[in-house]
Amino acid sequence: MKFKLTIAYDGTHYAGWQAQKTGVAVQQKVEEAIAKIFTGATRLHSSSRTDAGVHALGMVAQVEIADEQVKMPIGKIPVAINAHLPPDIRVQAAKRVRATFDARFNAKGKQYRYLLWNAPAMNPLLRHQAWHLARPLDLETMREAAKSFLGRHDFKSLAATREYEMKSTVRTLRRCDIRRNGPLLTFIIEGDGFLYKMCRGIVGTLAQAGQGKIAPSDIKEILGRKDRRAAGMTAPAHGLVLWKVFY
């Protein structure tokens, strides 16, 4: 049987989602927990990768388990796996899916959210979930700049360089909203796919627009340059959350 798992985690103490040779990854912890219940289960294949310090509420991963080993109702599978996980990782849901389901290639889009605390003093309860910027930000300027990211563009200027060459750096953004609740700003960025550190590049660039360092009219030129040096800074990892994956 193939199952779709929806996983949430606080990435503060992990070297990202993907299992690797150095550091403890979220994927490793979930695979170890599954193996304690279902011996012979396949490796997890996920919809996304998140970097060290990045969080998730809606990471999706698939796993295959031998039919004869699934002796509990599907609704009990998250409870069983969570019993073997640390408290900063939780399987939120499990659903049986068709054999052809692919968490990565069947995804139609993703939504990320980024939290920024804009006040002289940081909220200590959000120190692991939000970026602290003490200098006042002009929200309307940031919202005006965000409009230029909407639609289909080459986002090479907003993404960090990978060791390998991407086939395409063109992506489509459907949402790039900024909400304010007192000093807390929430950036909601939704699109058909994302490049390496692209969301953090967008947030960093918008924050610098809010500081008057980048004009909203500069965004189209930044996109056109296709050069990471043309855009603003990369926002810190700990403010970013993979919120939802769409299928």
Long-range contact set of residues 214-218: C-beta below 8 Å, sequence gap at least 24: 214/145, 215/145, 216/141, 216/144, 216/145, 216/147, 216/148
Q: Which of 51, 88, 154, 192 is catalytic?
A: 51
The angle formed by the CA atoms of residues 195, 206 and 120, to the nearest 5 degrees, is 125
The residue length of the chain stands at 247
**Catalytic residue flag (residue 67):** no
Q: Are 137 and 209 a contacting pair, CB within 8 Å?
A: no
Distance of CA 71 to the CA centre of its chain: 33
Q: Are 78 and 94 a contacting pair, CB within 8 Å?
A: yes
Please name every residue paired with 9 in a beta bridge, in sequence order, or none if there are none: 56, 89
Q: Could you write out the three-class secondary structure of 135-176?
A: CCCCHHHHHHHHHCCCEEEECHHHCCCCCCCCCCCEEEEEEE
* Residues that are catalytic: 51
